[in-house]
Structure 1
């Protein structure tokens, strides 16, 4: 069984749930839908060796993940953003795989909360 604490900042997540109240589930659904669309775009940008696009996608995914307190995922996205910024794309495929794996965990945990 996965622990929320392994993937989220629990204090921030609880605060978000409290502030959003009835709209929390809607916010999580929007995050999940956006994230599912973002995933293939990361791989596509890497295939095209488009460091700028990769940086921008990783940056926005980092922000969205941070907003839902998915700090591990946000940190991975930050690493990918920095790789794009520095145009160091060697190894970015492993980072994207880590992001995809962590996102799957985050999505499962969020769906369990809704």
Structure 2
């Protein structure tokens, strides 16, 4: 888990640009991310999932790619980097390794917990100031 899960310069810019919609953006990101992390976890729990399964790997790579984009846009830079590493595994950019894939998903879950806490704190600040 990173020491600074979110780049606050990015959040500041989002707050300025989104104005009144900023809290909704945070809420949508949190709920969407919960679903994404759960989908990755469920895919790994599927008994047919292995690093040798091209279809499973491609699906995981697409999930990671999509999550990488949203986390990057929200300033969750380390989480975005972890998603890039998972995407590279899933898309065959590096030799797929089952243990590495499972470890990356675990790290993504942990890092998302830290990011989620920052965003929930941000939501509290937004509600307190209105």
- TM (normalized to structure 1)? 0.89
CA deviations on 1:19-38 (whole Å, 9 max, x unpaired) are 11111110010011111111
- TM (normalized to structure 2)? 0.79
For residue 69 of structure 1, report the CA deviation from its aligned partner. 0.8
The correspondence of residues 4-83 of structure 1 with structure 2, limited to 5 A, is: 6-46=4-44, 47=46, 48-49=49-50, 50-83=56-89
Q: Aligned residue pairs: how many?
A: 111
Q: Of 95, 98, 103, which residue of structure 1 is paired with 2:104?
A: 95
Runs of 4+ in 1 over 6 A off after TM superposition: none
Which ranges in structure 1 are unaligned for 5 or more consecutive residues? none
Which region of structure 1 is more displaced relative to structure 2, 90-99 or 41-50?
41-50
CA distance in 2, matches of 1:33, 1:67: 16
What SS does the corresponding residue of 1:6 show, helix, strand or coil?
A: coil
Aligned-residue Cα RMSD (Å) equals 1.7
Match of 1:109 in 2: 118
CA distance in 2, matches of 1:17, 1:72: 20
For residue 8 of structure 1, report the CA deviation from its aligned partner. 1.6
